[in-house]
Structure 1
Amino acid sequence: MLRRLPFALIALAVLIAIGLVVWEPLLAERVTPPPAHRYDSVIARDGFGVPHIFGRTDPDVAYGIGYAHAEDDFATLQQVLAMTRGRLGAITGSDGAKTDYVLHLLGARATVAREYDRQPVDVRLLLDGYASGLNRYAERHPDEVLLAKLFPVNGRDVAVGFVARSPFFYGLDGVLGALAGNTPMAAENAGPRPDAPDVTPVGPDGAENGSNAFVVAPKRSADGWTRLVSNAHQPWRGGVAWYELVVHSGTGWNFAGATFPGAPYPLLGHNERLGWTNTVDRPDLLDVYKLTLNAARDAYRYDRAWRPLERHRVWLPVRLWGPFVLPVPKTVARAVQGPVVANDAGAFAVRYGGADQMRMVEQYYRLTRARSYAEWDRAMAIQGVPGTNFLYADATGRIAHVYNAAFPNRKPGFDYAHVLPGDTSRDYAPGTVPWTMVPKHVNPRTGFLINANNTPFQAAGTGSELDPKDWSPLLGIETDTTNRGTRALELMGADASISQADLERIKYDTAVSKRSWAGRWFADAAAAVGDRAAKRVLGRWDWNFDGHGPADALAALVLREGNKWHYQRKPRTDPGEALATSAAYLRKHFGRLDPPLGEVLRLRQGKIDLPLDGGPDVLRAMPLWDEAPDGRLAVKHGDSFVMFMAWDRAGRVHSRSIQPFGASTTRPASPHYTDQARLFAAHRTKPVLFRPADLRGHVERVYRP
């Protein structure tokens, strides 16, 4: 009889018998649900399925946000929630277990357990309202629940998601990956090592943490309007993919924008009076300390004494089959400087900006409720969001760029770009620099601001830039440039009267600046010894990825090879090899070196298969793709949620938006699975129906969740 059973089933039965594999629900901790409350919410779906959530109070709105998002993408929301419980591995296997390990390593749940009851009451009510909306959906749709005992969730679970994910937007994954992967952390290189094994998928893809933003003041615009363009580059699917929504509370909370799965409010967009967007910044917020351990490896030397490591045993559930998991034991440790990772080179403590706090939850909420720059600035001064640029505009014509970061306090005389001794307090200072020391650029003389993941010292054009000498090198402000940043400054700086049409052309620009790093890269590729036929084709390129030239596809692949090292701060690769690799790919899959770009670069979702323009590190950003079996490059990351915002001379707000697919990206049966795709591919947008009156004649359905 045993001979007829698959070996995997026999092995599973043996492991269960000896207790190594358990039924996953046995490992799950039952969580207390939020207090019972009757929420007063209404969801109105417009013609594109975008939810407009109305509530008597803000927690009522948060309840509707949770329910509406679950209708559109419950599977992704559950993965985010499983991560907050340390149970992602029970859904996705070993990859999820890596994320669970990082959650424990950073002490995210411990942080929330310590800080949650100290949060303002209105913030906690908002979190509980959102969690209750998710619980209600799970209660009504038990067949869609992926993991037993995942529900109910509560406000603490929601808060953990913020604490766990925030540091990965500025590069913590690089350092942890290097340490976990035994990449040498020599004294001359303690910075992020993006070539190291991935240790967590909860943040953005480290290969291209991008975004573009453009702001125009009335004095620079053709019609006296104030304009802001949000063009945050995120994955098109998954836990950090944008979800569009509009919210209205009876308390005066009105906001249109986008959020991530697991967030109880919009994270960017606009209200009546002001708006903002974000782009990834990459300041040096990470300090690495090498510890001296005792023989038992349970204590470390610090200021001539031995301190015990804070050590905790955790169990990582790794899904094997069905509800059966393999519980893997791991030990996490902390020193005074932060979490500790040990490898063959020793034990290292990592200090990172914004650690061990959950103020970002309140900060984002206060930002959405701000009615003036003064209120918005007070919310920013909470300093809970550990890193990301904020670009701002409002109805008064004020524009601003904040190079936001939780800069660690650092002591003069030490080089924090290198591995530091961990046995002394002389090189360690707890806390964050005050808000007054964070670089800000408000109302520059040029009348415009941009950021495309470039240094904040290139933001406003000639004569209006911040002076690097005014800022301490201990802050670790980045000096990176991108082609997108260089090109945006060229285009904005050359236009003395920027109209709405001008701004749209700039946002969708597909060109490479010959003055950028990419310009030098292409010049070197053209001069390299190697594939003569490929060099001839590249020589015909017009420096533009608009899809009309014969060399666009080859150039896009060559630029992608360059961006792999440039954006990730890795050693420069050989441009001749990059050209040869790109040419070989086109020959293999297309039998030619000059296929049309739109034949190669595609938008694919369900039955939709559309040509795209743009490419890596251009303003029409298409930096990451999957190589399909037919050789086509199916874009998965880049231009995602795009929003054009404007305030006219009377201070009245106007906005338009677009997404690559639609409001419901994981439900193929939904009419909104791909209904924005053709507009997106054609550089077109749809109106944002911000005011309730705008919805008249455009409502698909209205219901109470």
Structure 2
Amino acid sequence: MKRILKVLLGLVGVLILAALVWLYDPLPATPSAASLSKGMADYPVEIIRDQWGVPHIFGKTDADVSFGLAYAHAEDDYQTTQETIAATRGVLARYRGAKAAPTDYIVALMGIWKTVDSRYQQDVPDDVKAIATAYAEGLNLYAAHHPDKTWDGLAPFTAQDVVAGFMFKTPFFYSLDKSLLSYFDVERDLELALAPNAQQQALQVRPAQGGELGSNAMAVAAKRSGDATTRLLINSHQPMTGPVAWYEAHAVSEEGWNMLGGVFPGTPVILHGFSPNLGWANTVNHIDLVDSYVLTRNPNNELQYRLDDKWQDFAVEELTIKVKLFGPFHYPATRRVLRSVHGPVIEAGDNTIAIRYAGMDEIRQLEQYYRLNKSQNFAQFTQSMALNALPSINYIYADRADNIGFIHNAQYPARADGWDWSKDLPGDRSDLIWQGYRPYSEVPKLINPKSGLVFNANNTPFNATDGPDNLSADQFPASMGLATNQTNRSLRFMEMNDGVQTLDRDAILAQKFDTRYSQDSDYVAIINKVLQLDLSDKPVLAAAQAHLQAWDLNTDIDNPHAALAIVLLRQIIRGESPDDHSDAALVSALSDAVTYMNKHFDGYQVPWGTVNRLVRGDTDVPISGGPDILRAIYSIGYTPDEKPKATHGDTWIALVEWNANGLLDANLIHQFGSATSDTRSPHFDDQAPLFASEQWRKAEFDKATLRAQAERIYRPQDFSVQ
């Protein structure tokens, strides 16, 4: 028996050793510093860090500036940049393990690198390749200077990484990720659209869950301002940290590029901001830009599907995702990726669904952003927008010539009219596979409206001004999938504007920092349902209900009733069943809210600022606002054992002004500071107290003034490479 046991243990040892050999797959070492830095001499650039640590990057060419932007951003947040590039390459699981494998799969499903490989050389213009290459070289130089911070196997970075990053991320701004997750749900009910004029009704689309984040934007023409000044409010709502958190930068070249604004890790151009001549703000738009097709598989060949009464072969890719286990050991997980003529195919239980979406196989996103950055007037801005390469995102525009405008931008699929495209489409009809997009001329837009005001708060495009010339639904075909929703923020914009009153600087700021819920908002409707509950047999909850009854719908920091209201709303909206507003669900949510407040704050009768906190480094201060408030503050992801803190919402904000002579003046603020991940820097949280108290910094464009006030001036290419 002992001999048998020894033999068995020996076999187990051999098997373990064989498994370790099979799983052993170390990441390649980072290339030498000399190799990574060989391109730095091609990009002479000067970086001026102002007193807030914000980089102002000056170069002779646009490529020089792109190079400097990459280096400066890496100084402040190299970790997130690397995370972004690893995700874009579809190799994040090699670093983050199994939880990142779905991201790698989606990169393959979207065909990001197949598109790059087939289209980069011919469809990316040389000047766009130049800034993408320069940006990659800036990251490579930083990697050369900081090999200890560089992930093994990731460098060298390439221009293709930069271009692919835009391709991967831009569709998620219209919630492609939520659509994909719903299609992977094996319990999802198929909602088949019927042919036009059919009498039977299909099932209704399930509403989006969890509440919506969003953005605010506003532009006021000189005639409405009271002081002959054109104003633009830039106020997108983003996560406060991570790959889509704003980083402020100023890009200046001798080739006419002069933009200040926000960028994300991995982006070599300003995504929204302003120049001395013009500016724009972006908000997310809720347009139906994803179509799903139910495929019929061949019962005799699972790799075929029916199309026009014929069996067609799927394009099949065998994907291997290397999943980090520990140390140098990675598990090679395999999965097939199917594609039909419609687009990527999702297999979920018995359902086989092909999807077609705005931005699919598109590669020109960086080009359009670059053209927008170089625009000097409204005509050039319009020409840049007409590239129609960005799958979604609203634009609120203003310029020194007193033009203002709202553009409900998207790549609108050229769909056949008559069908309900919000449902699943039959996948066996080739006539339903749309080709291309509607031209930019058909994109909904409102330029220089009569009232002199445009705004958006992620609401329907049919409320974009307070004058008589709003767009209307009958101007556009239903197949465009335009939204009809309102948000609390859009309701408040409409309640506070009447088409005639003066909107000077103070009035704009009062609206931007408004802290009230509209009586017509979905949030107040939920609270009203709670107030109607019969809690006579639950005295503790009845007392809480009475406390809610006294709430004036404000979320200012001193408000004594907002805390219970907002915690209750969070319990519902961020819970597992956000659409369940039954009496039982509301009673449970109220009970949970009371329990939470008793645990963390010794009761719910505390000022809102006691609960609503901006926390960063050594800063921990009260802040007004709340979910879907114009002063937008969200606390997402905290558990019942944690106190909340601000995680999303208002982040980088700018108020841009051109006076009657066309001269620029701008104020701005970041929620934390320029050192977005460097906890040792004084700029990790130096703007947070200003942000919480609704104060501003002055924007500065003049180079001489910047040099005189600079905290630091340097040229990255002058640093020694070890």
TM-score (ref. length: structure 1)? 0.92
The residue type paired with residue 307 of structure 2 is: Y
The residue type paired with residue 292 of structure 1 is: T
Counterpart pick for 1:136 among 141, 146, 153: 141
1:22 aligns with 2:27: no
**C-alpha distance after superposition, 1:142-171 (max 9, x if no partner):** 00012x121001100111111111111112
Could you say which residue in structure 2 is the equivalent of 1:45? 49
1:612 aligns with 2:614: no
SS at match of 2:353: strand
1:152 aligns with 2:153: no
Tell me how far apart the structure 2 counterparts of residues 137 and 599 of structure 1 sit (CA, whole Å): 42
Counterpart pick for 2:252 among 248, 251, 256: 248
- Check 1:340–1:193 CA distance in 2 against 1; reply closer, same or farther (3 A cut): farther
Counterpart pick for 2:328 among 317, 323, 330: 323
- Asked whether the 8 Å contact 1:210–1:638 carries over to 2, the reply is yes
Q: Give the stretch that moved more between structures: 546-555 or 124-133.
A: 546-555
Tell me how far apart the structure 2 counterparts of residues 398 and 555 of structure 1 sit (CA, whole Å): 41
Counterpart pick for 2:425 among 396, 420, 424: 420
The residue type paired with residue 52 of structure 2 is: F
- Asked whether the 8 Å contact 1:622–1:638 carries over to 2, the reply is yes
1:589 aligns with 2:594: no
Question: 1:232-631 residue pairs with structure 2 within 5 A?
Answer: 232-294=236-298, 295-493=300-498, 496-530=501-535, 531-561=541-571, 563-564=573-574, 575-627=586-638, 631=642
Tell me how far apart the structure 1 counterparts of residues 451 and 343 of structure 2 sit (CA, whole Å): 43
SS at match of 2:633: coil
- Check 1:179–1:365 CA distance in 2 against 1; reply closer, same or farther (3 A cut): same
SS at match of 1:633: coil
Tell me how far apart the structure 2 counterparts of residues 642 and 563 of structure 1 sit (CA, whole Å): 26
SS at match of 2:301: coil
SS at match of 2:321: strand
The residue type paired with residue 531 of structure 2 is: A
- Asked whether the 8 Å contact 1:537–1:550 carries over to 2, the reply is no
Could you say which residue in structure 1 is the equivalent of 2:673? 662
The residue type paired with residue 228 of structure 1 is: L
Counterpart pick for 1:55 among 48, 59, 67: 59
**C-alpha distance after superposition, 1:363-398 (max 9, x if no partner):** 000001111111101111111110111110011111
- Check 1:49–1:191 CA distance in 2 against 1; reply closer, same or farther (3 A cut): farther
Could you say which residue in structure 2 is the equivalent of 1:198? none
Question: Which ranges of structure 2 fall in alignment gaps of 5 or more residues?
Answer: 1-11, 192-201, 536-540, 717-722
Could you say which residue in structure 1 is the equivalent of 2:703? 692
Displacement of 1:344? 1.2
SS at match of 2:432: coil
SS at match of 1:230: strand
Could you say which residue in structure 2 is the equivalent of 1:201? none
Counterpart pick for 1:114 among 93, 111, 118: 118
The residue type paired with residue 41 of structure 1 is: V
Tell me how far apart the structure 1 counterparts of residues 313 and 205 of structure 2 sit (CA, whole Å): 27
The residue type paired with residue 545 of structure 1 is: T
Q: Give the stretch that moved more between structures: 233-242 or 521-530.
A: 521-530
- Check 1:176–1:502 CA distance in 2 against 1; reply closer, same or farther (3 A cut): same
Tell me how far apart the structure 1 counterparts of residues 659 and 288 of structure 2 sit (CA, whole Å): 39
**C-alpha distance after superposition, 1:196-237 (max 9, x if no partner):** xxxxxxxxxx85431111111111112110111111011111
- Asked whether the 8 Å contact 2:37–2:141 carries over to 1, the reply is no
1:678 aligns with 2:710: no
**C-alpha distance after superposition, 1:67-99 (max 9, x if no partner):** 000000000000011112211112222222211
Tell me how far apart the structure 2 counterparts of residues 346 and 621 of structure 1 sit (CA, whole Å): 39
Displacement of 1:572? 5.2
SS at match of 1:132: helix
Displacement of 1:495? 6.7
SS at match of 1:261: coil
Displacement of 1:13? 9.4
- Asked whether the 8 Å contact 2:396–2:405 carries over to 1, the reply is yes
Tell me how far apart the structure 2 counterparts of residues 335 and 12 of structure 1 sit (CA, whole Å): 44
Number of aligned positions between the proteins: 683
Q: Give the stretch that moved more between structures: 118-127 or 520-529.
A: 520-529
The residue type paired with residue 614 of structure 2 is: L
- Check 1:479–1:194 CA distance in 2 against 1; reply closer, same or farther (3 A cut): closer
Report which of the two structures shows the higher radius of gyration computed on alpha carbons. Answer: 2
Q: Give the stretch that moved more between structures: 218-227 or 317-326.
A: 317-326
Tell me how far apart the structure 2 counterparts of residues 524 and 487 of structure 1 sit (CA, whole Å): 21
The residue type paired with residue 314 of structure 1 is: L
Q: Give the stretch that moved more between structures: 409-418 or 468-477.
A: 409-418
Could you say which residue in structure 2 is the equivalent of 1:634? 645
- Check 1:17–1:534 CA distance in 2 against 1; reply closer, same or farther (3 A cut): same
The residue type paired with residue 646 of structure 1 is: E
Tell me how far apart the structure 2 counterparts of residues 378 and 233 of structure 1 sit (CA, whole Å): 27
Q: Give the stretch that moved more between structures: 266-275 or 586-595.
A: 586-595
The residue type paired with residue 181 of structure 2 is: G
Q: Give the stretch that moved more between structures: 94-103 or 232-241.
A: 94-103
Could you say which residue in structure 1 is the equivalent of 2:5? none
Tell me how far apart the structure 2 counterparts of residues 103 and 493 of structure 1 sit (CA, whole Å): 47
Counterpart pick for 2:173 among 158, 169, 172: 169
Tell me how far apart the structure 2 counterparts of residues 309 and 694 of structure 1 sit (CA, whole Å): 61
The residue type paired with residue 154 of structure 1 is: T
- Asked whether the 8 Å contact 1:170–1:387 carries over to 2, the reply is yes
SS at match of 1:416: coil
Tell me how far apart the structure 2 counterparts of residues 374 and 325 of structure 1 sit (CA, whole Å): 53
- Asked whether the 8 Å contact 1:600–1:631 carries over to 2, the reply is no
- Check 1:92–1:597 CA distance in 2 against 1; reply closer, same or farther (3 A cut): same
Question: Which ranges of structure 1 fall in alignment gaps of 5 or more residues?
Answer: 1-9, 196-205
- Asked whether the 8 Å contact 1:177–1:193 carries over to 2, the reply is no
Tell me how far apart the structure 1 counterparts of residues 551 and 316 of structure 2 sit (CA, whole Å): 58
The residue type paired with residue 681 of structure 2 is: S
Q: Give the stretch that moved more between structures: 453-462 or 485-494.
A: 485-494
Displacement of 1:505? 1.3
Q: Give the stretch that moved more between structures: 41-50 or 603-612.
A: 603-612
SS at match of 2:105: helix
- Check 1:350–1:28 CA distance in 2 against 1; reply closer, same or farther (3 A cut): farther
The residue type paired with residue 53 of structure 1 is: I
Counterpart pick for 2:658 among 647, 653, 661: 647
- Check 1:456–1:565 CA distance in 2 against 1; reply closer, same or farther (3 A cut): farther
Tell me how far apart the structure 1 counterparts of residues 53 and 236 of structure 2 sit (CA, whole Å): 21
Displacement of 1:480? 1.1
Tell me how far apart the structure 1 counterparts of residues 432 and 37 of structure 2 sit (CA, whole Å): 43
- Asked whether the 8 Å contact 1:108–1:356 carries over to 2, the reply is yes
**C-alpha distance after superposition, 1:460-504 (max 9, x if no partner):** 025231111111000000111100110012223377111111111
Tell me how far apart the structure 2 counterparts of residues 365 and 12 of structure 1 sit (CA, whole Å): 57
- Asked whether the 8 Å contact 1:178–1:185 carries over to 2, the reply is no
Q: Give the stretch that moved more between structures: 629-638 or 601-610.
A: 629-638
